[in-house]
Structure 1
Amino acid sequence: MLLNYRNFFMNERFLIGTSILRICIGLILLFNYFIHYKQRYFFWHESGINIYSTGYKSLTWSLYNLNSSALFFDFIYHLGIIVTIFYLIGYKGRLFSILAYLFFYSLYVRSFHISDGGDNLLIVNMFFLLFTNNTAYFSLDSKMNNSRGKDSKDSLLYKLSVIIHNFAVLFCIIQLCIVYFFSGMYQLMGEMWQNGTALYYISQVREFSRPILDYMVNHYVGLTILFTYLSIIIKIAFPFAVINKRLKPFVVIAMILFHIGIAIGMGLLTFSLIMIVMELLLFTDQEYKKLYHFIKISFRKITITIRRKTRRLGYVSFQHKQILVFYDGWCPVCTNIKDYLYKLDYFRMLRLVSFRNSSLVQAYKLDVDELQRRMHSFSLNDPSRIHRGIDSIAQICTRIPYLWWAVPFIIIFKKMGIGGYLYDYIASKRKVIPVGNCDDLCELHH
């Protein structure tokens, strides 16, 4: 048993979860910085809603306590935003994790009058996350480490960092379980929660309710009582259910839906976001990879099904818009472009043939010399109207949605009179390799 515990903590675990959590925390911190940007003096400066006395400063530590001037406050506040951005993108993870924690803690100790409870869990877990490797994925550090090569996994320092990382993640999970369990126990001891009327009384407090909660309570009484009891049961069962791999996804989804309901019904947005993102640590790297492959395969199946149905419908609808395009089959660049256009031709509106070996040239009585100078295209329903050069390019782009962005530029260049000259210049510089028509006198220039 001891050997199993040792092997568990000696291997890298929860790297994807901590990396995603780093990104989510960074976004939440930036949201708090920017959403209160215009009210920052009112909330956190000494001249704002609360006067931070000398006695209060002596009981708390904050970077904002170092100086009471508005200029210094702005400097620390904007520096905190910059630090959070570096923390978000995962640059120098160890350093900026510490700095992001210090700058957020400096605001946290001055936010007691606007706190919603979520920042209490956030500040505790951010301290534990200081000891984790939260830049292993989705970060600048991970890209730089891949380019430089990883450190030896046999070194003592690496093994020690892995053990500390795993224990720190475990502490975060335990902290989350403690919050849910005791929250459920306190609800269980409350009379309003016991008789199922807690949500009703919450809906009567205008500061912590939204019209949608009031509507649900008044129109769906039975559902309101059911949600009241379910919230207690799920919270108390949470620490025990997450141990079971089969029950864990369901209980996590239930808690996510619970907090989404809090965000919508009570308006506690940051609290709900913090509680939701903290649950990202509960899944292992293998579970995240399985989920990624499942989503990837499912998305691919859905995409293929949609493409087949829409392509069939589009092909029938736009068949009369199909055009025949003559290109130079002896030009390697032209051939590559042809293959690329076939991939982009979602509705099969292009029919590309080489004028070098096609009997269609004679059938449509086209001038071979002119074909060598410019691409030709025309609608199969109206072969008499032939488009040449830059006009053929415009015909192709209008039939491929991925190339619609190029149509305005083609029209502008054509109106300016330089579109045709530019096309002729590029076409004259193409390499022509006569496939299967060389004799001993041929010289191929690469």
Structure 2
Amino acid sequence: MPARILTLLTLLLEQPISLYAAAVLRIGYGFLYVAFLLREFPHRDEIWGPGSPWTPALARELFDQTGWASILTLSDSRAYFEVCYTVALVTSALFMLGWRTRAVSVLFAVVVASFHARAIFMTDGGDNLILLMALYLVVTACGRRWSLDARRARLVSADRTHRLPLDQPSGELRRHLRDARQTVVAVLHNCGMLVIAAQVCFLYGSAGLYKVQGATWGNGSALHYALNLDVFRPWPELSTMADRHDVLITIVCYLTVLVQVAFPFVLFGRLKYPVLALLLGMHLGIALFLGLPLFSGAMIVADAVFLPDRFYRYLGRLRRGTTWRTHGREAGTPSGGELALVPPQHTSLSQ
């Protein structure tokens, strides 16, 4: 047991874990917020601007009671609001791309909190989760993989390897400061990722337990009522067609409750992969049948934290292999897998 505790402490203190999962969270939530702001661009003034029925004065009055704050209420000028909206779009895009992620992640959290607080009565659940994840990602090293920061670090590292080594060794104090910085970054990142995982577990567990207490979920008719709510019927014909299958609706109700309640207990085994696949299908169904794409997207991205780094590395190798084969065929590479640099008139390597 002490050896296991020592191994766990070493893992938490010495190196960041789940860097690829953190990158997926960064890319996913940055993309979702860019898409969200672009989708609401024609209605931005009615939702967050000076022309909103929920005026800046009313918002500030509510902030005095709740303790919230928003950069959008600092001025009632329309020009100021347009500048804030543009800054929000640019910040979300830079966060998604991973440019200067340490600083931009703080700006992204401020943007999400400001827009959320400005129109607190127009959220659908997905906004709440994106706000929490934006705050958690501030302390993570989510720019270490699949980012412009990672690309710049590789270029700097390659440039240093081509230079002559310096004879002046780094000082003892500088080395200790560097080690301390790496430890602090690793601890903050690992704690942030663990908090994100715990947040998702609490979300699914509490949602499942609340459903168990409901009579409509107990008799399998909850989805029937949800499919017949006008506010959640983006395509009425599709909802009506799905509602005709009573047995399937009942099975989906029971399966939803089972998967959500069991989710926190299957994370440390291979059973989590089929459970994550079922949750993916459930969220896609919510986006399609209930018209909640932002909520579904936020939950799908959150589920990515439970996939190991080897899964994302495999996807990267698969993408590079597909790209190599595509470019190889375009360059005239034979189908046997020979290098494209070998002239076609030479004997192939396999012969």
TM-score category, normalised to shorter length: 0.7 to 0.9
Instruction: Name the CA shift for 1:152/1:170 in 2 (closer, same or farther; >3 Å).
Output: farther
Residues 48-87 of structure 1 mapped to structure 2, 5 A cutoff? 48-52=52-56, 53=58, 54-59=60-65, 60-87=68-95
Residues 126-141 of structure 1 mapped to structure 2, 5 A cutoff? 126-141=134-149
Question: What letter matches 1:36 in structure 2?
Answer: E
1:26-65 residue CA offsets vs partner (Å, 9 max, x unmatched): 1111111111111111011243132342412434200011
Instruction: Name the CA shift for 1:39/1:167 in 2 (closer, same or farther; >3 Å).
Output: same
3-state SS of paired residue (1:155)? helix
Q: Answer yes or no: is 1:268 the counterpart of 2:276.
A: no
- Distance of 1:294 and 1:232 partners within structure 2: 35
Contact 2:73 2:118 (C-alpha < 8 Å) held by counterparts: no
Unaligned runs of 5+ in 1: 308-339, 346-351, 355-446
- Distance of 1:287 and 1:163 partners within structure 2: 23
Q: Across the two proteins, how many residue pairs are aligned to each other?
A: 310
Structure whose residues are more often helix by fraction: 2
Contact 2:205 2:262 (C-alpha < 8 Å) held by counterparts: yes
Structure whose residues are more often strand by fraction: 1
3-state SS of paired residue (2:41)? coil
Q: Answer yes or no: is 1:40 the counterpart of 2:40.
A: no
Q: Answer yes or no: is 1:165 the counterpart of 2:173.
A: no
Q: Answer yes or no: is 1:289 the counterpart of 2:308.
A: no
Residues 11-410 of structure 1 mapped to structure 2, 5 A cutoff? 11-52=15-56, 53=58, 54-59=60-65, 60-149=68-157, 155-209=179-233, 210-211=235-236, 212-218=238-244, 220-244=245-269, 246-293=270-317, 343=333
How far residue 217 of structure 1 moved from its aligned partner, in angstroms, is 1.3
How well do the aligned residues superpose, as a CA RMSD in angstroms? 2.8
- Distance of 1:292 and 1:38 partners within structure 2: 37
Contact 1:119 1:271 (C-alpha < 8 Å) held by counterparts: yes
Contact 1:176 1:278 (C-alpha < 8 Å) held by counterparts: yes
Q: Answer yes or no: is 1:4 the counterpart of 2:7.
A: yes
3-state SS of paired residue (2:120)? coil
Is the deviation greater in 145-154 or in 199-208?
145-154
Instruction: Name the CA shift for 1:342/1:129 in 2 (closer, same or farther; >3 Å).
Output: closer
State TM-score, norm by structure 2: 0.81
Higher relative contact order, chain-length normalized (CA < 8 Å, sep 6+): 2
Question: What letter matches 2:266 in structure 1?
Answer: A
Greater C-alpha Rg? 1
Structure 1 runs (4+) greater than 4 angstroms displaced: 150-154, 291-297
How far residue 294 of structure 1 moved from its aligned partner, in angstroms, is 6.1
State TM-score, norm by structure 1: 0.65
- Distance of 2:193 and 2:344 partners within structure 1: 61
- Distance of 2:87 and 2:319 partners within structure 1: 38
| Aligned-pair identity (%) | 24
